[in-house]
Amino acid sequence: MRSPIPDYLAEALGSVEFDQSGATADYIPELADADPDRLAVSFCTEDGRRYSQGDADVEFSIQSISKPFVYALALADRGFDEVLAKVGVEPTGDAFNELSLEPGTGRPLNPMINAGAITVHTLVGPPGATPEARNERIVDGLSAFAGRRLRVDQRVYESEISCAYRNRALANMLRANEIIDEGPLVAVAGYTRQCSLLVTVEDLAMMAATLANRGVNPVTGAPVVPAAVVRQTLSVMATCGMYDGAGDWMTRVGIPAKSGVSGGLIGALPGQAGIATFSPRLDRHGNSVRGVDLFRRFTSDMGMHLMEVPPAGPSVVRSRREFGHGPSGVEVVSLQGEIRFAGAERIVRELADAPPTRKRVAINLMRVSSVGDVGRRMILEAVRRLTLDGHDVYLIDPDRVLPDPDPGEGGRVTVVSGRDDIRRLMSK
């Protein structure tokens, strides 16, 4: 069978192709001259399969789409406290290059506006790293997200740096407020270099997929940044990634995203896929016109809005069955599906409302697909409380969905995983 996904993507591009509204960024000469008709899309799944259509092998400068990735590197290199002390996480409602800092602290409001991104740029690498070492770390880090070696487009760099008056003004304000502690010109040069890295829409989709995949590149398998850093980065993308269009974006599209003035747009759908589009004409917020349209379409066609979840599946407590009588009897509580907070609550509720009557209780995890952290803790606490109530507790877990079960103080549990042991337990 031929996959329907490339056909769908081609059809989606066709539906926006004739829209010529918006304009290429005019404040960077090299971008003003870009071919405005380019159009491309790429999807990269969380297990690394890519689907692309249109001008998918055309390179363009990454621009502001570098911001979330460099933020992730700074968080990984310096830790949350150091980065948050210098840059906040509040959406501004202002344009990306607004000359605004938080009253009182003088911090940039968030890492997605230029003031925040210039500051974040200076926080990559170990403290005291030279500007060259920092630039190197950024190229290496972004390349790890993309799964291939990226390079700087010198012409774009020079074109932007030749008229980076506004970013220099921002950097001077940051220096005056002691938010950055090095020369403003050096900070702007490094930041502009980071914005000049060349990518294709396929690179961007893989970079976004690495965020969607808890920080592990789904194709190379390289762990790029820790999961806690990904959570922070995606949260900031969701609230600040589309600048003064962020609220409209989050309500209508509902995917953590980031745009850039060269016309790129990425979205990272946690646990599912990275998506990227490329079309250089921009709206008044500096976001790609056709890119925004494509994302709206993807969300409504494929139910990608983060706040829209499928209806709850069948109860995680699949059945409770009693075998045998008296002391040799056993109650088997069979669970199923994914166990997160709501599922775990259901399990403890049922065991509390209708306590098992047999001495032996077996919790059967054979049909459980995954157990989240809270699910694990609540199941183990239930085991502990059942033990304290006088039960002998067993976990039927041949696939080890609950590895190393330790119910803690006063709890005891026997893991049953062999086929014969399971049969023996149930037959008594």
Ligand X SMILES: NC(=O)CC[C@H](N)C(=O)O
Catalytic residue set:
64, 67, 191, 243, 261
Write out the binding residues. Answer: 64, 114, 160, 167, 191, 243, 261
The radius of gyration of the chain's CA atoms, rounded to the nearest angstrom, is: 26
Give the nearest distance from C-beta 160 to ligand X in angstroms: 6
Count the site residues for ligand X by CB under 6 A.
Answer: 11
Please identify the residue of the shown chain whose CB is closest to the bound ligand X. Answer: 64
Residue whose CB is less far from ligand X, 280 or 411: 280
- DSSP letters for 167-195: HHHHHHHHHHTTSS-S-HHHHHHHHHHHH
CB neighbour list of residue 259: distance below 8 Å, 6 or more residues apart: 64, 65, 241, 242, 243, 265, 285, 286, 287, 288, 291
Q: Which residues inside 173-232 make contact with ligand X, applying CB under 6 A?
A: 195
Q: Please select the residue that binds ligand X; options are 45, 92, 110, 114, rule is CB under 6 A.
A: 114
Residue whose CB is less far from ligand X, 92 or 213: 92
Q: Please select the residue that binds ligand X; options are 77, 98, 153, 160, rule is CB under 6 A.
A: 160
Q: Please select the residue that binds ligand X; options are 167, 233, 239, 334, rule is CB under 6 A.
A: 167
Residue whose CB is less far from ligand X, 12 or 195: 195
Record the tokens describing residue 257, joined without a space: 């995203």
CB neighbour list of residue 276: distance below 8 Å, 6 or more residues apart: 41, 42, 201, 202, 204, 205, 207, 208, 264, 265, 266, 267
Task: Look up tokens 């004739």; give the residue.
Answer: 18
Q: Which residues inside 247-306 make contact with ligand X, applying CB under 6 A?
A: 260-261, 286
Residue whose CB is less far from ligand X, 63 or 143: 63
Dihedrals phi, psi of 76, to nearest 5 degrees: -70, -40
Give the nearest distance from C-beta 95 to ligand X in angstroms: 9
Query: Is there binding between residue 375 and ligand X (CB under 6 A)?
Result: no
Q: Which residues inside 49-108 make contact with ligand X, applying CB under 6 A?
A: 63-64, 96-97
Collapsed DSSP state (helix, strand, coil) of residue 232: helix
Q: Strands, E, within 151-263: which ranges?
A: 198-199, 257-259
Cα separation, 171 vs 191, in Å, equals 10
The residues binding ligand X (CB under 6 A) are 63-64, 96-97, 114, 160, 167, 195, 260-261, 286
